[in-house]
Structure 1
Amino acid sequence: MTNKLIYQISLTMINGVGDILARHLLETFGDPEAIFSEKKQTLEKVPGIGTLLAAEIKRPEVFLKAEQELAFIEKNNITPYFLTDNEYPERLKQCPDAPVLFYFKGNANLNQKHIISIVGTRHSTDYGRELTAGLIDKMASLLPDTLIVSGLAYGIDICAHRNALKNQLATVAVLAHGLDRIYPSIHRNTAVEMLPQGGLLTDFPSKTEPDKPNFVKRNRIVAGLADATIVIESADKGGSLITADIAFSYGRDVFTFPGRVTDTHSKGCHLLVKQNKAGLITSAEDLISAMRWDIPQQKQSGAIQTELSFPEREDFTQIQSLLNEKKELHINQLALHLDIAVHQLSGILFEMEMNGIIKTLPGNIYALVKN
């Protein structure tokens, strides 16, 4: 097995040979050992290889680096997954640029029945963090076999991991560097907490720095591991949109939450909807319904809540009482009754609308949603 693994790791250590070309070599010669055993002249004739890459395949340094990596993963109880292994995640295997080899430390089932990737801005707002917490809390309640995938980054990523841990859901972080380090280091404790019921995954060997291009590359794994990618908050540019685009290119489902049209961190979410790349959801139930996932019978007792759960608040109750009495009120009238500034009130009304308590009528008029 070790000898076989040396050839598998070596295939990923060849300068200039990425996952797509490595897969082509496998299809041509059958297995990694056959690739390295082949004559240089034969390798040169393979489309995409040529003289220079054939020489790289034959470099002895390739095996030296592979031996060092093998020693590292054996010492640290890291599991390698090669593309042809039976245990290799089925969803990821379907992706044309899936990693030929990746490394995993943890205990998660990477072929879990329900897997979602949750991504978003590093500069998350209270609104985004609240949505993330509510989504994961409800998924844990309705589908406790859900695996949460994200990238361990600041903002929405770490919020997703921590809320998964809080709700006893398995959660996996896809890293942009080797497993000999954690970036950002401030998230090390969370990463360690994830190992018993989740794990850390990367296709980068040890000693790989968390350089910017690596984050873009790792996004294909975040998208490829999951049934669906959910964008919580995103500006009009950034890694979350790249992940969503990759998921869309794989034919996977993409969903996003709405925000105010003026919110910077919702511009990317709205853009995905306008481009017909993402479906709009406001709750875990929306996601489950769109994915046509079956909720276990015991989880369906009583009425199913259709919006994210927010704690009962006094300002919500006051507005509900007013609208129950007056039926419909303009935002300015509401502000006068409540003695609150319009700009403060608009935020409260938005939360209530997202929670399905009120609805907006033409002309900034609000009314209760009839049950």
Structure 2
Amino acid sequence: MTTDELLALLTLQRVRNLGDISAKKLLRVFGSAEKIFNAKPEELLAIEGIGKFKISDLHNPNHKEEAKEELEFITSNNIEVRYFKDSNYPENLKHCIDAPILLFQRGNIHLENKRLISIVGTRKATNQGLAFCEELIEKLAPLNPVIISGFAYGVDICAHKAALKNNLQTVGCLAHGLNQIYPKTHAKYQDEVLDYGGFITDFWSDSNFDRKNFLKRNRIIAGLSEATIVIESAEKGGSLVTADIANSYNREVFAVPGRTTDKFSKGCNNLIKSQQAHMLTCAEDLIYLLNWDLESKPTKKAPELFVNLTEEEEKILATLQQGKTELDELSHRVEIPTFKLVPLLLNLELNNLIRPLPGKIYEVI
């Protein structure tokens, strides 16, 4: 990418009313940001979904001056910039409709052909939750996953520290620019994270601390990984937003159950109860449901020849024998609502007749 094109892309990011989805639409049509700024208004308005409101701020001269300042920051601080159309842009994130057009990163981040998991949870984690997080990562360490989180208090920093302890790559997704670390007390971990991974953000160096920035950041946490794990959460919280986003991306979500009386188990219990997350009680649950390390898993016993199935279960099995099928599509084909379908699938799984795959896909064993 040329310096002029990067400057144009940064300027495009600055345009008010034009989000990442619309910006990517324009870039796909015109091929470059420079061509967008040189296009005639009628050419822009001819694109579906691009109206006068979205391009009204396109030629604001302040944006280019601000982009020049940010480009200077990027250059002088050796910031890596990843463009959504380039091969070095994270593959998982490419499939997310609202992923940023540009990502900024520092460190030694290598995500290609890696097992990527995000671990999130409350900032007020209990000792039990922190212990679970540490043990989970220790048990997963032989599989060499990349641990992604938000570098915040509680579960986040516990996940990063556990990754470092087990010599695993870890990535902190920030809700601000790469010119600072928040919270400041976590600055002491910065150098080690840069050595064993790094930091990623789509925010500029002039970004203010704002709650909506942290919520926006959560789409990066969910989008980078193949699975999001919620270790502890109250009934409402940012971790549940991340889980919701991960589900919208058709990624796997796991939640650690807890006692119904525990405040920071309510969010996880609700995710499991509403079938928005798999129950996670140990590392083996994750390894099995993501089909990791299949070679070393003990051979399953052969399916029983005579299993008493209901008419609905037979219908599901017959449909899956035609090929792998995603949950919502399977629900449509067998004409069984999802909330009724999931327990039926679980019974078939327990009878060793089917197995789940990443992306809420099922297949016959």
User: Taking structure 1 as the reference length, what is the TM-score of the superposition?
Assistant: 0.77
AA of the residue aligned to 2:180: R
**1:253-291 Cα deviation digits (max 9, x unpaired):** 000111111111000000000111100121111101110
Name the counterpart of 2:116: 115
Name the counterpart of 1:143: 143
| In 2: Cα distance, 1:211 partner to 1:73 partner | 22
Find out whether 1:5 has 2:6 as its counterpart: yes
1:233-272 aligned at under 5 Å gives the runs 233-272=232-271
Name the counterpart of 1:307: none
| In 1: Cα distance, 2:156 partner to 2:295 partner | 28
Percent identical: 49
| In 1: Cα distance, 2:263 partner to 2:56 partner | 50
| In 1: Cα distance, 2:59 partner to 2:248 partner | 35
Name the counterpart of 2:129: 128
Find out whether 1:89 has 2:90 as its counterpart: yes
AA of the residue aligned to 1:143: L
The Cα shift of 1:114 comes to 0.1
The Cα shift of 1:42 comes to 2.9
Name the counterpart of 1:188: 187
**1:139-158 Cα deviation digits (max 9, x unpaired):** 11x212x1000001110001
Name the counterpart of 1:330: none
Name the counterpart of 1:39: 40
Find out whether 1:287 has 2:299 as its counterpart: no
1:201-216 aligned at under 5 Å gives the runs 201-216=200-215
AA of the residue aligned to 1:224: G
Stretches of structure 1 lacking an aligned partner (at least 5 in a row): 302-371
AA of the residue aligned to 1:155: G
AA of the residue aligned to 1:154: Y
| In 2: Cα distance, 1:275 partner to 1:195 partner | 38
Contact 1:149 1:171 in 2 (8 A): yes
| In 2: Cα distance, 1:168 partner to 1:78 partner | 24
Name the counterpart of 1:197: 196
The Cα shift of 1:53 comes to 3.5
Stretches of structure 2 lacking an aligned partner (at least 5 in a row): 299-365
The Cα shift of 1:27 comes to 2.5
The Cα shift of 1:23 comes to 1.3
Name the counterpart of 1:27: 28
Name the counterpart of 2:176: 177
Name the counterpart of 2:152: 153
Name the counterpart of 1:168: 167
| In 2: Cα distance, 1:195 partner to 1:295 partner | 32
Q: 2:195 is paired with a residue of what secondary structure?
A: coil
1:47-58 aligned at under 5 Å gives the runs 47-58=48-59
Contact 1:120 1:231 in 2 (8 A): yes
AA of the residue aligned to 1:40: P
The Cα shift of 1:10 comes to 1.6
Contact 1:183 1:210 in 2 (8 A): no
User: Which is further off, 221-230 or 1-10?
Assistant: 1-10
| In 2: Cα distance, 1:295 partner to 1:179 partner | 39
AA of the residue aligned to 1:130: A
User: Taking structure 2 as the reference length, what is the TM-score of the superposition?
Assistant: 0.78
| In 2: Cα distance, 1:97 partner to 1:52 partner | 19
Contact 2:17 2:55 in 1 (8 A): no
AA of the residue aligned to 2:224: L
| In 2: Cα distance, 1:55 partner to 1:258 partner | 49
Name the counterpart of 1:341: none
Q: 2:57 is paired with a residue of what secondary structure?
A: helix
Name the counterpart of 2:347: none
Q: 1:12 is paired with a residue of what secondary structure?
A: helix
The Cα shift of 1:128 comes to 0.3
**1:321-349 Cα deviation digits (max 9, x unpaired):** xxxxxxxxxxxxxxxxxxxxxxxxxxxxx
The Cα shift of 1:207 comes to 1.1
Name the counterpart of 1:77: 78
Find out whether 1:64 has 2:65 as its counterpart: yes
The Cα shift of 1:110 comes to 2.7
The Cα shift of 1:49 comes to 3.6
Contact 1:8 1:82 in 2 (8 A): no
